[in-house]
């Protein structure tokens, strides 16, 4: 299955080119040009990794990040930033972002970070699955009750 | 910094820093677009080398995007250059419409971030005054910044000019949220110092949803 990426940035020409390049590398890419649009898409669909610009009109990147971590806590987020907003990106990592990249960035760096973020999410989901299985084996009645 | 530079020096440096930081951010954005489109061309060439046919329309599209971004960068750098030259002369004859257009170009990103539409409503013909270009830009920025925060839910700010024998008036209109703004907070010490230096005056007109800044035609000696 392809890694599902949501790319969020208000620079349309940037988003279009990067989305095309990531699609060529076999990612399943969806784009959003505003924070509000990104959150709508996140509520409707599941994504593995969100690439999120820090500075955007309307809801800014850090606010979007907080909302992502509230509604889809396992989705990993990579912050995109200019030099002037590196502090905001670091703040984002304290709030749970996986990593950040400074624009303009090398595509191969971005691809590496997307893959690592996906692996982290997949491992986390696997551990949750294992915990559920253990719970069912150790106490099937309780598990059925919870279900 | 305040005690050594004085309030005009302090506010001037803050204004200069804020505008140049915004310009650098915009240039970074342009470079990011060019970087991705250059990368896209490389990807397409690599695919062609592997036998996937080139799509000329796609290449035209990428070239068009890159050309558009180069034009954008050219405009940004041109504005930056004109802004930098504002400190060249202590006083000079200024076309206020040119100054307003420069200021709107320099600060459009701030407006975009706040979701405010800036609508210039002055013609092409010039209105001239003699003043200090940098302090004038700084003062107009202070008013523009305040006005952007007073547009209310409509988020549209119109900038117009009026003229009589002695003064040019800059009108920031459409301020539906002006009545709710804290009347005591503006103008602050910095705006007061700039107005004093430029012999400028202002009126708040909440009923007409506007602020008017009056600039004397001979305002800075």
pLDDT tens-digit profile of B116-141? 999 999 987 889 999 999 999 999 99
ipTM of the complex: 0.85
Which pLDDT belongs to residue B38?
97
Check which CATH number belongs to the domain holding B151 and give it.
Answer: 3.30.565.10
DSSP β-ladder status, B117-120 and B156-163: parallel
Our CA angle for B188, B145, B69, nearest 5°, is 150
Closest CA to B8 of B107, B119, B142: B142
Q: Are residues B57 and B126 in the same domain?
A: no
Residues in A touching B114 (Cβ below 8 Å): 57
Which pLDDT belongs to residue B5?
74
* Mean pLDDT in residue range B170-183: 90
Residues in B touching A55 (Cβ below 8 Å): 25, 113
What is the C-alpha R_g of chain B? 21
* Cβ contact, residue pair B21, A84, below 8 Å: yes
Which pLDDT belongs to residue B73?
97
Percent of chain B with pLDDT over 90: 88
Which pLDDT belongs to residue B79?
97
Q: Are residues B26 and B53 in the same domain?
A: yes
| Averaged pLDDT of chain A | 91
Domain count within chain A: 1
Residues in B touching A56 (Cβ below 8 Å): 113
Percent of chain A with pLDDT over 70: 94
**pLDDT category of residue A92 using cuts at 50, 70 and 90:** confident
Instruction: Provide the domain limits for residue A92.
Output: 4-121
Say yes or no to pLDDT of A140 above 90: no
Structure-token pair, residue A27: 């990612």
Secondary structure (DSSP) of B91-158: SEEEEHHHHHHHHHHHHHHHHHHTTPEEEE---SS--EEEE-HHHHHHHHHHHHHHHHTT-GGG-EEE
C-beta neighbour count of B52 within 10 angstroms: 10
Nearest chain A CA: its distance from B144 CA (Å): 18
Of B37, B65, B85, the one marking the end of a domain is B85
Secondary structure (DSSP) of A79-135: EEE-GGGHHHHHHHHHTT--EEEESS--HHHHHHHHHHHHHHHHHHHHHHHHHHHHH
Q: Are residues B65 and B100 in the same domain?
A: no
**pLDDT category of residue B185 using cuts at 50, 70 and 90:** confident
**pLDDT category of residue B218 using cuts at 50, 70 and 90:** confident
Q: Which of B17, B23, B29, B48 to mutate to test the interface with A (most CBs of A within 10 A)?
A: B29
Q: Is residue B105 part of a domain?
A: yes
Query: Which residues face A6 on adjacent strands?
Result: A30, A50
Say yes or no to pLDDT of A23 above 90: yes
Exposure string over A104-115, b if 16+ CB within 10 A, otherwise e: bbebeebeebbe
Q: Are residues B44 and B146 in the same domain?
A: no
Check which CATH number belongs to the domain holding A14 and give it.
Answer: 3.40.50.2300
Q: Are residues B155 and B51 in the same domain?
A: no
SS3 B203: strand
Q: Are residues B98 and B201 in the same domain?
A: yes
* Cβ contact, residue pair A13, B33, below 8 Å: yes
Q: Is residue A138 part of a domain?
A: no
pLDDT tens-digit profile of B52-72? 998 999 999 999 999 999 999
Of B38, B67, B85, the one marking the end of a domain is B85
Q: Are residues B79 and B100 in the same domain?
A: no
- Which are the contacts of A74, defined by CB distance < 8 A and separation ≥ 6? A121, A124, A125
* Cβ contact, residue pair A103, B32, below 8 Å: yes
Of B33, B39, B114, the CB nearest to A21: B39
**pLDDT category of residue A144 using cuts at 50, 70 and 90:** low
Domain count within chain B: 2
Of B21, B24, B33, the CB nearest to A11: B33
Q: Is residue B16 part of a domain?
A: yes
Q: Is residue A106 part of a domain?
A: yes
SS3 B63: helix
* Mean pLDDT in residue range A111-135: 94
Say yes or no to pLDDT of B219 above 80: no
Chain A neighbours among B 100-119 (CB < 8 Å)?
112-115
* Mean pLDDT in residue range A10-38: 96
Q: Are residues B118 and B208 in the same domain?
A: yes
Q: How many helices (H) and strands (E) does chain B have?
A: 5, 7
Q: Are residues B135 and B178 in the same domain?
A: yes
d(CA A67, CA B205): 40
Which pLDDT belongs to residue B140?
98
Contact B113, B29 (CB under 8 A): no
* Cβ contact, residue pair B25, A103, below 8 Å: no
Chain A neighbours among B 58-77 (CB < 8 Å)?
62, 65, 68-69
Which residue does chain A place closest to B111, by CA atoms? A57
Q: Is residue A147 part of a domain?
A: no
Residues in A touching B47 (Cβ below 8 Å): 24
Q: Is residue A127 part of a domain?
A: no
Nearest chain B CA: its distance from A78 CA (Å): 16
Instruction: Provide the domain limits for residue B165.
Output: 89-216
Q: Are residues B127 and B179 in the same domain?
A: yes
| Averaged pLDDT of chain B | 93
User: Which residues of A fall below an 8 Å CB-CB distance to B?
Assistant: 11, 13-14, 16-18, 20-21, 24, 55-58, 82-85, 103-105, 107
Q: Is residue B221 part of a domain?
A: no
Q: Are residues B30 and B101 in the same domain?
A: no
Q: Are residues B101 and B151 in the same domain?
A: yes
Nearest chain A CA: its distance from B219 CA (Å): 36
* Mean pLDDT in residue range B143-153: 95
Of B85, B107, B132, the one marking the end of a domain is B85
**pLDDT category of residue A87 using cuts at 50, 70 and 90:** confident
Say yes or no to pLDDT of A89 above 90: no
Which pLDDT belongs to residue A52?
96
SS3 B202: strand
pTM assigned to the model: 0.87
* Mean pLDDT in residue range A60-83: 92
pLDDT tens-digit profile of B3-54? 567 999 999 999 999 999 999 989 999 999 999 999 999 999 999 999 999 8
* Cβ contact, residue pair A14, B33, below 8 Å: yes
**pLDDT category of residue A147 using cuts at 50, 70 and 90:** low
pLDDT tens-digit profile of B98-107? 999 999 999 9
d(CA A134, CA A140): 9
* Cβ contact, residue pair A104, B69, below 8 Å: no
Say yes or no to pLDDT of B208 above 70: yes
Q: Is residue A38 part of a domain?
A: yes
Which pLDDT belongs to residue B3?
58
Structure-token pair, residue B211: 């602020």
Contact B143, B202 (CB under 8 A): yes
Residues in B touching A82 (Cβ below 8 Å): 24-25, 28-29
Q: How far is CA B206 from CA B163, B170, B185, B203, in A?
A: 21, 16, 15, 10
Say yes or no to pLDDT of B182 above 80: no
C-beta neighbour count of B62 within 10 angstroms: 19
């Amino acid at each position: 299955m392809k890694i599902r990426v949501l790319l969020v940035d208000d620079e349309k020409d940037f988003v279009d080119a990067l989305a095309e390049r990531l699609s060529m590398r076999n990612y399943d890419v969806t784009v959003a040009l505003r924070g509000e649009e990104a959150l709508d898409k996140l509520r409707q669909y599941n994504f593995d990794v969100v690439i999120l610009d820090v500075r955007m009109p309307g809801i800014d990147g850090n606010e979007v990040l907080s909302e992502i971590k509230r509604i889809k806590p396992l989705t990993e987020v990579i912050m995109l930033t200019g030099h002037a907003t590196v502090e905001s990106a670091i703040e984002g990592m304290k709030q749970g972002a996986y990593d950040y990249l400074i624009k303009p960035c090398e595509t191969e760096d971005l691809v590496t970070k997307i893959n690592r973020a996906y692996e982290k999410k997949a491992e986390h989901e696997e551990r949750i699955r294992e915990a559920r299985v253990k719970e069912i084996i150790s106490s099937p009645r309780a598990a059925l009750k919870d279900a | 910094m305040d005690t050594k530079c004085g309030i005009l020096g302090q506010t001037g440096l803050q204004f200069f820093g804020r505008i140049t930081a915004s310009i650098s951010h915009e240039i970074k954005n342009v470079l990011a677009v060019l970087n991705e489109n250059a990368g896209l061309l490389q990807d397409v060439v690599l695919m062609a080398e592997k036998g996937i046919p080139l799509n000329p329309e796609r290449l035209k599209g990428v070239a068009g995007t890159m050309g558009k971004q180069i034009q954008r960068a050219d405009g940004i750098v041109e504005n930056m250059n004109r802004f930098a030259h504002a400190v060249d002369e202590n006083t000079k004859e200024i076309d206020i419409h040119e100054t307003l257009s420069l200021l709107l170009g320099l600060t459009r990103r701030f407006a975009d971030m706040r979701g405010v539409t800036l609508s210039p409503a002055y013609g092409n013909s010039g209105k001239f005054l003699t003043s200090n270009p940098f302090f004038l830009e700084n003062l107009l920025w202070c008013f523009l910044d305040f006005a952007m925060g007073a547009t209310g839910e409509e988020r549209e700010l119109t900038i117009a000019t009026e003229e009589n024998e002695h003064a040019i008036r800059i009108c920031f209109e459409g301020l539906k949220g002006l009545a709710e703004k804290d009347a005591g907070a503006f103008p602050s010490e910095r705006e007061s110092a700039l107005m004093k230096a430029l012999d400028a005056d202002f009126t708040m007109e909440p009923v007409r949803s506007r602020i008017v800044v009056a600039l004397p035609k001979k305002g800075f000696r």
